[in-house]
Amino acid sequence: MLNFYIDRGGTFTDIYYQYNGESLVHKLLSQSHYKDGVFQGIKEIYEKYQSNGQQVKVNQIVIGTTIITNAILEKQGHDCALLISEGFRDLLQIGQQSRPKIFDLTMKKPCVLYKEVIEIKERIDYEGQIIQQMDIEQARKDLVYLKQQGINSIGVVLLHSVINDVHEQQIKSLGEELGFGFISISSEVSKVIKIVPRGQTTVLNAYVNPLIQLYIKELEQEIKQLLKDQNPQIWFMQSDGGLTEAQDFIGSKAVLSGPAGGVVALMQSTKIYKQLNKKGVVGLDMGGTSTDVSVYYEKENIKEESIIDGIIVNTPCFDIKTVAAGGGSLLKFENGMFKVGPESSGSCPGPICYDRNGLLSLTDANLYLGNIDVDHLPKIFGFNNNSELNYDKVKVQFQKLGQELNMNPIEIAESFIKVADEQMCRPIRQITNGRGQSSQDHLLVIYGGAGAQHCCSIAQSLMIDSIFIHKYASIFSAYGLSLARQQKYQKIPLIDKLNNFHSISNIVQSFHNLTQTDIEQLIELHLKYEGSDFLIKIQYNLDLNVIKQQFEIQHQQLFGFKQNREILIEYLSITTKYGELKEEQDELIETFQIIDGNNMKVDQLQKNIQYKGPFLIYTGNTTIKISEGWKAELTKNENIIIRKINDEQNLNQQKYTNSSLELSIFANKFMSIAEEMGLQLQNTAVSINIKERLDFSCAIFDKDGNLVANAPHLPVHLGSMSDAVKCQINNFNDGDIIMSNHPEMGGSHLPDITIITPYFKDQQKLFYVASRGHHADIGGISPGSMPAFSKYLKDEGIAVKSFKIVEKGIFQEEKLIELLQDSREIKDNVQDLKAQIAANNKGIQLLELLINQEGYSKVDYNMKRIQLNGENCVRQMLCDISIKNHMKEVDTIESQEYMDDGSQIQLKLTIDRKERSVIFDFTGTSQQILGNTNCPVSVTKSAIIYCLRCLVDMDIPLNQGCLNPTKIIIPENSLLNPNNLCGIVGGNVLTSQRITDLILKCFQASAASQGCMNNFSFGGFNQRSYYETIGGGSGAGDGFNGESGVQVHMTNTRITDVEIIERKHPVRILSFTLRRNSHGKGKYNGGDGIIRSFVFLTKLNVSLLTERRVFSPFGLKGGQNGQKGINVYKTQGQSFLLSGKVNLDVFPNDEIWIYTPGGGGYGVM
């Protein structure tokens, strides 16, 4: 009898199969001379046994596949249509309006998956009340039209359909009546109360479900033809680790079908972690194109959302983080640093050693260093799939690179390996620290074809002392399929207070009615604090107090605090598993002997013996590298445990063979620390601004306050935070943490509060970390602290030059509340400031750990070197642009921009190729105004450093060194250098965008983007404040079109989901769509702006702070201007044009319509 468990990956198709009780392995390339690796593998194995004259019965086939992922990435799905509520035709294209890479001027958001869009005339409010009945006859006509266009699959996404799905069900019935083959309605696909993720998930289903069913149909036909009268069961792996039958296998539940098998194996075969006294397990699945990281504790680690190619998929899935470092990751040396990925050579052509005219990749480095033994791998390479790996071609390439870099080729290969190792460590730190755990308290489980060559190095960097490698590690995901069970998941939205426990219990009991003994059911409540959107899953219990206690314990563990707020329940979920739990029981065995290891096959290892590294173990499908200072041994089940040898000295201290390697490693380490700070802040904050819109930044600074590294947060914060740190350096004592938001002290505008924490050792300040977050309200003359008509700084809120929010280690809560007494959101202010402190503490802990590992002198040295690297990159860029733009050796370009009020920003930009430097001379800029578009000097620096980083166009850390080649001249008491009395709230969010446009124009890099952040806020009259910024069109450049409906340049905040706004605030969104044809035309077109409109349900005070309402975004090199923005107020049947800066009281049924500017075009059409 044959049972097949098949994992079809991007590079290899791995097969674990059982024949008459014997376990066997088969491996083949996924893309080659055959149509499908799954069927080809079944065919090869089945025919092998059939050829021996044996009668072979195939019992079951279990498949994990990347077919869905590939279809999305390669845009190979079927034509489908989106049907969405009227006014929102472009909602899913706009998405969260943030851009994926903040320094990429050529940014391109993922293409939408649908071919046609139909707007449905209907509207339901957040309580499920029908505001506008659906026009059924028009919907019928629309569906007939789609049929005529040849579309057979539709996705239906209507507002608030999770609360009331009547209109979606009506469309579904119409679609079935008209013969549509595939109908996905959002209220059935996902129960999340956010229309963007629910909508994107629904369209994904509509796009790939026809492809899936076609694939399954063809596979079943091929299997039937192969097996004749046999009819084996066919199961597919879902993203949450459960198996489903073919007819229920749909796109949204299968995005992580491939890697999910590995996580199942991780959970079911690594219980030995308890015997090793570890808190949990970290899984690292290193494949051909990427590496997946996951964790396991006592229960499954399931999350509700994943992202693939920028598309949000809202269905349960294992929490797997992916980093673009796999065997196929391309190797490059740029700007004095070793780079690994993100580009990949894939499976075809693959690395050079695949012998298919490939590119230098990570696998080549491992082969060159002897970490892979050619003789112990199958001969499946070359153009005919019958050759071994080609070592000679790899050797030639590394020798050539050695000559170019004047370095030892071995040293080069080792450097690439170590950089890749550090890149793989970053997601491990994120996924463990994000759960309040330390990575060093885990067992590291390595699997996938490439991971075993890196295991000891990765563990050493993470301070992990134990590694587990299963005997089926090279096909672990396939093996995991054999351990999986059939599983079903249900999710019921409740939206209630937890204290209403009786009604919740009644709903639970209606589902909890099991009679079969082989069924396991898990019922969980998805809980959150009032005002928060972070959900924590707690297992259902009949005792309400136990549920509350468990929630508070988990919240404390994750975020370090509890809150005195109402606990709300948003969802109830039921996971039902069928069949017997399959767990592999393994254990350590007694060791009688320790010997030095020699390179050997895995079957030469003997039990009861520990083998000391360095040596290699060959398993047939991969090579395990046991490094010096580590020892390997077999477990009872003949799996391999690798442990650190306790008597080794300085094992945690990295050994760097060259300065470029050291710089590359530290660049990754510094960036990782800033990223973890940001994750901590996002998780622990309560406000929408920080938690959802991600309006915050985190960074680390050297002992002089210079920016060293930052996470990719908001550009407007990053350049100015260094000034904020430097202004406070002399104000610290040990145990102090300082809060500041004043523009004189490096602040951007008053709602942006900076928290700065120093690290003291022996009474010396060694470095600093800082976080800056936008607070929903900080006082001032209008709700949201973004007043349209502020004239002085005092109008804009509470201005704090320096306040010790923590003094001598004690949080000064009473003084803080007194300081914030004019704020309308004191409770949220305090909690968000605590979150910023927690983020800083995380940064301090991680930097202290790094110093303990590497020594302070090395850390400090690399803080300086990383700035020098940034400086050199900018200097080279200046020379390159000067030559490209046909400038003289010393040449000046002069230009100007005008704000809507007529004030001028004047810039003389002088590039000196000999000195490799640049002067930004803003002499001639208008004097400061009696208004709020005055821009602090620190914000102007932010605009400059952002532009320089964009123009470098390489992946370098943004740091203070990028400003070293610059001289900045700004006249005092001017628009860009105002005195301390001037209003500045608009300088940060408006003027900064115009400075950026002007600088890029002088560099001839791109046409103008929307030149504005379109700030919109409302509140007052006993209502909570709300603030958002609205995207627009980006400018085109040489070789690229601008992007539509996106945040540009100095901001990258997300937009709050329509369903969330309407649930939390007394407003209704009437439209959120692209402003078509608002772009500037040219050889390359600019991007379109956005139309966003509100109707108000109660009396509110509204502020609009916008630009580009008078002067259009300019085109460049003959390209046309983009359209300027428009603000409109509608009341009592009348429509009024508003200016760019507005503050007014609105009343029920009043409307505000905001039309944001388009981007300028580039080049003559």
**One domain for residues 574 and 684:** no
The structure tokens listed for 1052 are 């990258």
Structure tokens at 400: 């050539």
Residue ranges, the chain, pLDDT below 50: 648-652
Within 13 Å and on the Cβ side, how many CA atoms surround 819?
A: 19
Residues 777-802 as b/e (b if ≥16 CB within 10 A, e otherwise) read bbbbbbbbbbbbebbebebbbbbbbe
Give the pLDDT of residue 687.
82
953 Cα distance to chain centroid: 21
pLDDT digits (tens, 9 = 90+) for 902-959: 999 999 999 999 999 999 999 999 999 999 999 999 999 999 999 999 999 777 778 8
Instruction: Name the domain boundary from 562, 578, 594.
Output: 578
Q: Is residue 250 part of a domain?
A: no
> What tokens does 941 get?
């620096």
Dump pLDDT digits (tens) for 385-435: 788 889 999 999 999 999 999 999 999 999 999 888 888 888 888 788 767
Residue 720 within any structural domain of the chain: yes
Residue 1165 and residue 1032 in one domain: yes
**Cα of 694 vs its chain's centroid, Å:** 12
Instruction: Quickly tell me which residue has 């900018």 as its tokens.
Output: 874
Position of tokens 């980083």?
949
Give the pLDDT of residue 1118: 96
Other CB atoms within a 10 A radius of the CB of residue 211 amount to: 18
In a domain, 1164, yes or no: yes
Last residue of a domain, one of 578, 596, 628: 578
Of the three residues 855, 870, 885, the one that is the final residue of a domain is 870
Helix axes 856-884, 659-684, angle to 10 degrees: 100
Cα dihedral across residues 493, 499, 504, 505: positive or negative: positive
| Model pLDDT, residue 655 | 56
Count the Cβ atoms, other than its own, within 10 Å of residue 230: 14
From CA 145, how far away is CA 134, in angstroms rounded? Answer: 18
Contact 995, 898 (CB under 8 A): no
Is 727 found in the same domain as 849? yes
The answer to whether the CB of 728 falls within 8 A of the CB of 756 is yes
Q: What is the pLDDT of residue 518?
A: 66
Give me the phi and psi of 951, to 5 degrees please. Answer: -75, -25
Q: What is the pLDDT of residue 649?
A: 45
Is residue 1034 in a domain?
Answer: yes
Q: Is 1016 exposed, middle or buried (0-12, 13-18, 19+ CB in 10 A)?
A: buried
CB 832 within 8 A of CB 816: no
- Output the CA–CA distances (angstroms, integers) from residue 397 to 391, 414, 827, 1081, in the order listed: 10, 15, 61, 46
Nearest CA among 812, 949, 966 for reference residue 873: 949
- Same domain as 1022, residue 1136: yes
Domain assignment present for residue 664? The answer is yes
Domain count of the fold of the chain: 3
User: Considering only CA atoms, which of 800, 839, 801, 843 is closest in space to residue 818?
Assistant: 800
For residue 139 the two structure tokens come to 């919907």
Q: What angle do CA 419, 270, 461 make, to 5 degrees?
A: 20
For residues 1126 and 1110, what is the distance between their CA atoms, to the nearest angstrom?
9
- Whether residues 1023 and 1126 share a domain: the answer is yes
Residue-level pLDDT at 10? 67
Sequence-ordered strand ranges (E) for 517-628:
519-529, 536-539, 567-578, 593-596, 600-601, 609-612, 615-618, 623-626
- Residue in this structure with the two tokens 């194995």, named with its chain if needed: 45
Is the same domain home to 691 and 564? Answer: no
- Residue 1034, pLDDT score: 97
Query: What's 766's domain CATH number?
Result: 3.30.450
What is the predicted pLDDT for the residue at 656?
57
CA pair distance 196, 185, nearest whole angstrom: 14
Shared-domain flag, residues 567 and 682: no
State residue 657's pLDDT score: 54
Residue 245 falls inside a structural domain: no
**In 548-565, which positions are buried (b, 16+ CB within 10 angstroms) versus exposed (e)?**
bebbbebbeebbbeebee
> Do the Cβ atoms of 328 and 342 come closer than 8 Å?
no
What φ, ψ does residue 112 adopt, rounded to 5°? Answer: -70, 155
> Could you give phi then psi for residue 1040, rounded to 5 degrees?
-150, 145
Residue 1118 contacts by C-beta under 8 Å, 6 or more apart in sequence?
Answer: 1082, 1083, 1163, 1164, 1165
Q: Residues 126, 129, 135, 137: is their CA dihedral positive or negative?
A: positive
Domain co-membership, 663 together with 574: no
Check whether residue 673 and residue 567 sit in a common domain. no
Query: Looking at the domain assignment, is residue 838 inside a domain?
Result: yes
Q: At what angle do helices 937-952 and 715-728 cross, to 10 degrees?
A: 130
Residue 940's nearest CA partner among 990, 899, 874, 903 is 990
Contact 637, 469 (CB under 8 A): no
Question: Whole domain around residue 864: which residue ranges?
Answer: 659-789+811-870
CA atoms within 13 A on the CB side of 563: 23
Distance CA 570, CA 988 (A): 37
